[in-house]
Chains A and B, each alone.
Chain A
């Protein structure tokens, strides 16, 4: 074996490597699934959702109306936090303490003190985006929310996440698998932390549908999302 002959094998291996990269790009391994960036304010979803019982739509108020779910304006945060300042008294949420995160919020909102509200030099909070589909994908939140798909079905149990991470791969195969196999209202409600029998859920499908575990299928041809 000459040295020359030995190295002729390298281009083949490089091609193999390129192939592997290509495969990985299409396999889902390149998804940003599980990414959990540090946010400018460590917003505690569990406190707001589980302890205070706030509905997702209170802040993400366009999710049932628009392609975009909507992001709470700083004024939405300050709607409550004008009165709920960084100095937290002892409550069932914890002992008396100073909240560093609320101090950050006050800084963004340019709020001088509790009760003062937003100041003139308020700045938007630059949240780090987690969930993103490519520009050639049109994902209508409204269609899914109004069909009764719970937020947790795609976003995971946000209500339990101290720091939000990307629950699903958001790859096309993941989308299509649900459109083909169907969405189960029972599973969706369970993911959202509701017992299927519980009444007054955000979207209440017919009890029979829930009980039967029937799966609702949806169109999955390309032009449903790609245009």
Chain B
């Protein structure tokens, strides 16, 4: 033995060699990593504390509504947007699109400097050169200035007036303020019937809500205030109004309806007339293909419901007629002044131009009457249908200037680009409600300053126009203010002092002069009637509730956010009724070829119960066209980057443009006709897996999303056992009975502990000793939740969640990699997801109604969490205050926890989304500036999940401790609850009865998902309340 050891053993000399080598290795590790440098301020900015957020009130400009927002900034960078609670329009809520404004601000495809095109080649130029070029171009084309066209994305406030004054000073006509998403028919009908362009709507005062395709939760009108009010109406539970949706496609709004009446496109007018008593129910039934008995019941119901609220969002050729008929019903039912409030008008749509005016301008361009064209914030080359031949007409304009901050289809055709500042970098105002001025201020210095010695660092379009005017001999005297801020202050009543006083709240009282726009056309523009078009199906196109008219397409949050209805992301799709799909032999994901007289597109099929069997629907917003590349210096990376013209990296070559199929036509109110043609559908041999986060559309009896009929609300609940595990003295409220797992750290097992020897720890959930006094918990009111998914984006913004569906950052890793590839593989990464379940109509029959239930699903923070005992490295454990915690630096990525989670709320970092040197890096500069410094950016191979915004809990605790006080009830909330435009989510301490969450958790509708698994979740759902039609005629399954 000893002989053996001696022979095979290592010689002392070799041993010492190895020892020396390992010592060197240890010494090398001991040399700590370079901790870097600490760069102080030169002069500390006033009122800022490093590491503490500063909040600025400003105005959201993502749609026309102009909600108030509060931008959280940390050390000079905006990191999160939240609704402004002081703002009368949105009262603290903010939709997904509003949240995503940050990704416009930090978009990696933003133009870094002005660009000029010479001989078809783009070159970056300085701001001084760009302004000189603009002035020279204006002077050269002055003779044709009378035919100039300025197309601006519609906004309310002072800027339209400023712009008109500048244009008239230059001898040019007033600008076209365009919002392609706005419903011109509803606006025109509102003007004629109520005298205002958009009255405030009061859903909670209605007895019955009927919507003719008015998608007031998808972006129709002023989305957030409507959703707030609708949720308030639904929260009246048994007193809530019943909601009937009439239209060929069940949108998100339609899915929130108690009843869907699927009519043929174009037949809404017959139904509206029947409801108004002006037409026969039989005729309406024949026209619409709806059972006349259902319509008769609706007529009776409407007669009894006073006041009702009837809305029209029809966008076919008879849109104005339907809108006017609906207004007449409202007037007859006494709704005006009660559910429709013209006295509190929403002025966001005042002064807006219509599509017919835009099309007329395009025709003037085609005729060679336009010498100068300006485009700002809008992209007509994308959203005007191919049939409008915009590009051909636009090319005839000799001098074309874009103020777009990102390359897009229209900008690509221009001669000069002066990238505008983002709304979060610039001054402005809006008038969202009559008498309320919503102020807009820069929340940070520009991401890309001008780098000019002669110009200010921040130069928006308005500032550029002032600079140009100052160079013009005739105009210089009128523009004394140095910049647009100065111009605003000069016009603000009370001047700079009053403005400074109003800015913290972000609102001021006052009224801006209304902007005059041309009267609506007397006759509809020439268009082919849908009845005469060829095809087997009505083609329903609609603006995506997330991407809008395409302007959201380059924001990865909005691409990654599954569509609230179809749960598809990073793709286009064709909705087709399951019955029709079966007839055509079409399966989910089969590529369909959709053909009209105007064009052909190919997109995957999505069989959807909520589409009329004679119609197909395609969302609008994708299908941006890519074009030539050009090199641009990237100051963030000190690198020359290829910038893609056409559209940004997140929307490039993604999906199809639905409006390629649609003919150009405007209806009697001058609005664009979206539903204008029939289409023929052919199944192709191709197939693709839809990038969808939907597991199953059905609950399979699992009771995840529970509902109760309004009539059953007050019936005594089935007896529930009160003898649940746990010490009775610590028994929680009925909705949250579960005790918290006892101290996991071993206070119980500690040798110095009084309970020495009792080593139950986390494995004894009924042992409440060692429990912290707090139990963080959440309630989700499903009666309020509309499934809009704003919470998902709020969570993405707060918690540094990477967008994993994005195409690899300019690199191909797998040959078949494409946008949404990771989602197809089930690698989605949203800590909170909106589950959407269909109830009823299990055979997918057309004409049988179905019910939809939405459930926001996030980590349930189980008291008895299945994920915890299976972790081999103790990376997930239970905190004494009830949180189920994921410790990233302990996690080794076994994924056992995810396998054992019954709620499937744990998400794995399959790639290095958070690591700058990886090709999959999800935050290319300057997107990384948005990252929340309070939350760790996770690395590859780490599990992550909802943390109940633990960073906000700690921040609030730290603040309370610094002020030497206890946390106050409802002192803070989590990101999803803060933004929710339905006010469905409530967060707080369930162990303290003073918190709202503790009160809500004891509601009689409360339930836990999978309560039978004894997980003792901290999330309490309140059942949805249904309002089935009274009487036996109810078509519910």
Q: CB within 8 Å of B: which residues of A?
A: 1, 5-6, 9-10, 13-14, 16-17, 20-21, 24-25, 29-32, 35, 61-62, 64-68, 70-76, 118, 122-132, 134-136, 138, 140, 142-143, 146-147, 219-224, 226-227
List of A residues within 8 angstroms of B39 by Cβ: 124, 126-127
Give B943-966 as 1s and 0s: 1 = Cβ < 8 Å from A's Cβ atoms. Answer: 000010011001000100110100
Contact A21 B29, beta carbon cutoff 8 Å: yes
**CA A127 to CA B449, docked complex, whole Å:** 27
B111 to chain A: closest CB distance in Å?
A: 29
- With A21-B29, A136-B888 as contacts: A122 and B42 at CB distance below 8 Å: yes
Contact A227 B42, beta carbon cutoff 8 Å: no
B21 at the interface (CB under 8 A from A): yes
Which residue of B10, B33, B745, B887 is within 8 Å of A226 (Cβ)? B887
**CA A210 to CA B879, docked complex, whole Å:** 31
Contact A75 B22, beta carbon cutoff 8 Å: no
Which residue of B9, B30, B51 is within 8 Å of A29 (Cβ)? B30
A73 to chain B: closest CB distance in Å?
A: 4
**CA A227 to CA B880, docked complex, whole Å:** 15
B1018 at the interface (CB under 8 A from A): no
List of B residues within 8 angstroms of A30 by Cβ: 29-30, 32
Which residue of A123, A124, A142, A226 is within 8 Å of B962 (Cβ)? A142
Contact A146 B10, beta carbon cutoff 8 Å: no
**CA A29 to CA B120, docked complex, whole Å:** 62
Which residue of B32, B745, B887 is within 8 Å of A32 (Cβ)? B32
**CA A127 to CA B39, docked complex, whole Å:** 6
Contact B25 A17, beta carbon cutoff 8 Å: yes
List of A residues within 8 angstroms of B22 by Cβ: 16-17, 20-21
Contact A17 B42, beta carbon cutoff 8 Å: no
List of B residues within 8 angstroms of A25 by Cβ: 29
Which residue of A13, A17, A131, A140 is within 8 Å of B954 (Cβ)? A140
Contact B41 A74, beta carbon cutoff 8 Å: yes
Which residue of B44, B50, B879 is within 8 Å of A66 (Cβ)? B50
Contact A126 B954, beta carbon cutoff 8 Å: no
List of A residues within 8 angstroms of B890 by Cβ: 222, 226
List of B residues within 8 angstroms of A73 by Cβ: 40-44
Contact B885 A222, beta carbon cutoff 8 Å: yes
**CA A146 to CA B958, docked complex, whole Å:** 9
**CA A123 to CA B958, docked complex, whole Å:** 34
- With A13-B18, A14-B18, A29-B30 as contacts: A66 and B51 at CB distance below 8 Å: yes
List of A residues within 8 angstroms of B38 by Cβ: 71, 126-129
Q: Looking at the complex, which of B434-442, B683-691, B931-939 is the stretch in contact with chain A?
A: B931-939
Contact B961 A143, beta carbon cutoff 8 Å: yes
Contact B42 A118, beta carbon cutoff 8 Å: yes
Which residue of B36, B883, B889 is within 8 Å of A129 (Cβ)? B36
List of B residues within 8 angstroms of A140 by Cβ: 954, 958
**CA A13 to CA B877, docked complex, whole Å:** 37
Contact A10 B954, beta carbon cutoff 8 Å: no
13 extra A-B contacts, CB within 8 A, seeds A125-B40, A223-B879: A6-B8, A6-B14, A9-B9, A10-B18, A13-B14, A30-B32, A32-B35, A66-B49, A67-B52, A73-B42, A131-B35, A140-B958, A221-B744
**CA A126 to CA B10, docked complex, whole Å:** 51
Contact A24 B883, beta carbon cutoff 8 Å: no
Contact B43 A74, beta carbon cutoff 8 Å: yes
B26 at the interface (CB under 8 A from A): yes
Contact A227 B954, beta carbon cutoff 8 Å: yes
Contact A221 B880, beta carbon cutoff 8 Å: yes
B37 at the interface (CB under 8 A from A): yes
List of A residues within 8 angstroms of B30 by Cβ: 24, 29-31
User: What DSSP secondary structure best describes chain B's contact surface?
Assistant: loop
**CA A17 to CA B9, docked complex, whole Å:** 17
List of A residues within 8 angstroms of B745 by Cβ: 220-221
Contact A143 B26, beta carbon cutoff 8 Å: no
List of B residues within 8 angstroms of A226 by Cβ: 885, 887-890, 936
Contact A132 B36, beta carbon cutoff 8 Å: yes
B548 to chain A: closest CB distance in Å?
A: 34
List of A residues within 8 angstroms of B42 by Cβ: 73-75, 118, 122-124
Which residues of B11-29 have CB atoms within 8 Å of chain A's CB atoms? 11, 14-15, 18, 21-22, 25-26, 29
- With A35-B32, A147-B961 as contacts: A223 and B887 at CB distance below 8 Å: yes
A57 to chain B: closest CB distance in Å?
A: 12
- With A129-B36, A146-B964 as contacts: A66 and B52 at CB distance below 8 Å: yes
**CA A180 to CA B29, docked complex, whole Å:** 28
List of B residues within 8 angstroms of A16 by Cβ: 18, 22
List of B residues within 8 angstroms of A122 by Cβ: 42
Give B259-294 as 1s and 0s: 1 = Cβ < 8 Å from A's Cβ atoms. Answer: 000000000000000000000000000000000000
List of A residues within 8 angstroms of B964 by Cβ: 146
- What residue in chain B is nearest A37 (Cβ atoms)? B35
Give B472-485 as 1s and 0s: 1 = Cβ < 8 Å from A's Cβ atoms. Answer: 00000000000000
B454 at the interface (CB under 8 A from A): no
7 smallest CB-CB distances across A and B, nearest first, come from A32-B32, A68-B51, A17-B22, A66-B51, A129-B35, A223-B885, A73-B41
What are 13 of the A-B contact pairs (CB < 8 Å)?
A: A10-B14, A66-B51, A75-B41, A75-B42, A75-B43, A125-B40, A127-B37, A136-B889, A136-B936, A146-B964, A147-B961, A222-B879, A227-B935
- With A21-B29, A142-B962 as contacts: A75 and B954 at CB distance below 8 Å: no
Contact B50 A223, beta carbon cutoff 8 Å: no
Which residue of B52, B744, B889, B947 is within 8 Å of A134 (Cβ)? B889
List of B residues within 8 angstroms of A224 by Cβ: 954
Contact A13 B44, beta carbon cutoff 8 Å: no
List of A residues within 8 angstroms of B950 by Cβ: 223, 227
Contact B887 A222, beta carbon cutoff 8 Å: yes
- What residue in chain B is nearest A132 (Cβ atoms)? B35
- With A20-B25, A129-B36, A140-B954 as contacts: A1 and B7 at CB distance below 8 Å: yes
Contact B885 A124, beta carbon cutoff 8 Å: no
- What residue in chain A is nearest B744 (Cβ atoms)? A221
Contact B40 A29, beta carbon cutoff 8 Å: no
**CA A125 to CA B872, docked complex, whole Å:** 47
- With A138-B954, A227-B954 as contacts: A62 and B888 at CB distance below 8 Å: no
**CA A5 to CA B11, docked complex, whole Å:** 12
- What residue in chain A is nearest B942 (Cβ atoms)? A136
**CA A64 to CA B50, docked complex, whole Å:** 11
Contact A222 B877, beta carbon cutoff 8 Å: yes
Contact A13 B36, beta carbon cutoff 8 Å: no
B644 to chain A: closest CB distance in Å?
A: 32
- With A142-B958, A222-B887 as contacts: A227 and B936 at CB distance below 8 Å: yes
List of B residues within 8 angstroms of A65 by Cβ: 49, 52, 962
B737 to chain A: closest CB distance in Å?
A: 23
**CA A93 to CA B961, docked complex, whole Å:** 40
**CA A132 to CA B34, docked complex, whole Å:** 10
List of B residues within 8 angstroms of A135 by Cβ: 936-937
**CA A29 to CA B27, docked complex, whole Å:** 9
B906 to chain A: closest CB distance in Å?
A: 15
- What residue in chain B is nearest A65 (Cβ atoms)? B49
- With A75-B43, A227-B947 as contacts: A13 and B10 at CB distance below 8 Å: yes
- What residue in chain B is nearest A74 (Cβ atoms)? B42
Contact A221 B26, beta carbon cutoff 8 Å: no
**CA A47 to CA B376, docked complex, whole Å:** 59
Which residues of B950-985 have CB atoms within 8 Å of chain A's CB atoms? 950-951, 954, 958, 961-962, 964
A120 to chain B: closest CB distance in Å?
A: 11
- What residue in chain A is nearest B963 (Cβ atoms)? A146
Which residue of B8, B29, B934 is within 8 Å of A1 (Cβ)? B8
List of A residues within 8 angstroms of B11 by Cβ: 6
B635 to chain A: closest CB distance in Å?
A: 19
- With A219-B880, A220-B745, A226-B889 as contacts: A72 and B50 at CB distance below 8 Å: no
Contact B10 A6, beta carbon cutoff 8 Å: yes
Interface hub of B26, B883, B935 (most chain A Cβ within 10 A): B26
A29 to chain B: closest CB distance in Å?
A: 6
Contact A64 B32, beta carbon cutoff 8 Å: no
List of A residues within 8 angstroms of B883 by Cβ: 223
